[in-house]
Structure 1
Amino acid sequence: MKKYLIQFKPFLIFIGTFFFAYILLTIIYKYYLNSFDSLEIDGISRIVGRNVEQLMYFFNFDISIVKSLSQPSLEVWYNKRFTIRIVEGCNAVSVIILFVSFVIAFSGKFKTTLLFILFGSLFIYVLNVLRIAFLTVLLFKYPENEHFLHGVLFPLIIYGLVFILWVIWVNKFSKYAK
């Protein structure tokens, strides 16, 4: 048994570090979410909604994002028609937590790790704002494709790019990079 523990030590350290970081960050995030009333949308999701609105205003889209009166969400009105709803799960925090946990588990030099986490998280955040903006326009034009667009295409893009960031991290910057 000791032989296997020694043999798989790097893997076990990775798994332990990943799950520790993931659980810790998730608990912190849940604690943050619990500070809001059940019908109140969290601050991060409000900022995401504001950024989506600013982006679409910049490109002269007829957009209005308002707080829902009945749910903890933001309603996105595009061309005077309700198109989508932004809820807590749309703010990309869970994806960022997953990204950060992986980078920490494969950490490199402290400064490099910190910078990669900051810039990678910012990249994921901006990508998410673009995702919501594109999704708004596409669901306005093609509402019958909601399942494919929201459930398949955009998650594939987001998680695919996070995977590419991980590959770059492991191969270029982590302590395991050659």
Structure 2
Amino acid sequence: MLKSLFAAFVKNLFKKYLPVIRFLLLFLGTYGVLTALYIVYVSLSQGADNTPDFITQLVSVQAESVLAVLGYEPSLKVDPRLPMMRIILLDTYVGNINEGCNAMSVMILFVSFIVAFAQKLKKTLRYILGGLALIYATNIIRIVILSIALYQCPESSDFLHDIVFPGIIYGMVFLLWLFWVRAISKATDEESI
């Protein structure tokens, strides 16, 4: 009898928290798969001469292009010791762009959350693609502004690099999540009317 009461309790508990369990499984599963794929990508794409992966190089070149338009005469050099790009503004070394600067880990986190709250496939895919484009563009702008700030105020590098600019990109991702959840709850409310 105790065994059947326990089984009924667990069954009711499982039913009650099924949406939470679904969310966690989708989020953690998506995050795990995408992270594993990204780790494989990074390990296979770094060159023997310490050239970083393709996405990091692309982000570096695009940030360099924006800096050139702004008149900072940027140049990029492959770091001789580590897989990263050195960024130089007006003949002054300001920092490195490494794999962690390409925003891929932020994008993986974003996609995992959206998939965990997925709705209709077309709507979800459109939101993911739009969000990824916005995150990517924001990251380029973040690198450009950070490079200029490090050129202008090198003494503020730790504060800018470790607090302000991560706050900007993660804050934007948080807002994208809020918009997604709000859109889902609004659609759910409209369906129930």
Short-chain TM bin: over 0.9
Please, which runs of 5 or more residues in structure 1 have no aligned partner? none
Inter-CA distance 16–176: structure 2 relative to 1 (3 Å threshold) = farther
Structure 1 residue runs of 4+, over 3 Å off? 173-177
**Aligned to 2:75, what secondary structure does the other structure show?**
strand
- 2:187, 2:28 → 1: CA distance? 19
Amino acid at match of 1:24: V
Deviation readout 1:142-174 (Å, 9 max, x if unpaired): 111111101001111111110000010111147
Report the 3-state secondary structure (helix = DSSP H, G, I; strand = E; otherwise coil) of the residue aligned with 1:83. Answer: strand
Contact between 1:73 and 1:88, CA under 8 Å: does it hold in 2? yes
Secondary structure in structure 2 of the residue aligned to 1:70: coil
Separation in 2 of the partners of 1:52 and 1:175?
37
Q: 2:24 aligns with which of 9, 15, 18?
A: 15
Give the match for residue 126 of structure 1: 137
Q: CA, structure 1 residues 125+49, in 2 after alignment: closer, same or farther (shift >3 Å)?
A: same
- CA apart distance, 1:176: 6.8
Contact between 1:139 and 1:146, CA under 8 Å: does it hold in 2?
A: yes
Percent of aligned pairs with the same amino acid: 36
Counterpart of 1:155?
A: 166
Q: What is the Cα deviation at residue 40 of structure 1?
A: 2.8
Query: Could you state the TM-score of these two structures normalised by the residue count of structure 2?
Result: 0.88
- Structure-2 change in CA distance of 1:52 and 1:30 (3 Å): same
Looking at structure 2, the residues matched to 46 and 175 of structure 1 have their Cα atoms a distance apart, in angstroms, of 40
Inter-partner Cα distance in structure 2 for 1:48 and 1:5:
45
Is 1:48 aligned with 2:62?
no
Q: 1:84 to 1:174 in 2, by over 3 A?
A: farther
State the alpha-carbon separation in 1 of the partners of residues 144 and 35 from structure 2: 26
Larger radius of gyration: 2
* Among 56, 61, 64, the residue aligned to 2:72: 61
What is the 5 A alignment of 1:78-93? 78-93=89-104
TM-superposition CA deviations, 1:114-135 (whole Å, max 9, x none)? 1111110010011001011100
Structure 2 residue aligned with 1:71: 82
1:25-60: per-residue Cα shift (whole Å, max 9, x none)?
A: 001101111102462310000000010011111222
Q: Give the aligned residue type for 1:169.
A: W
Sort the Cα spacing of 1:102 and 1:22 in 2 relative to 1 into closer, same or farther, 3 A. Answer: same
Cα RMSD, aligned residues only: 1.5
Q: Please, what TM-score do these two structures have when normalized by structure 1?
A: 0.95
Aligned to 2:4: none
- The amino acid of 2:102's aligned partner reads N
Q: 1:42 & 1:11 partners in 2: Cα distance?
A: 36
Greater relative CO (CA pairs within 8 A, separation 6+) = 1
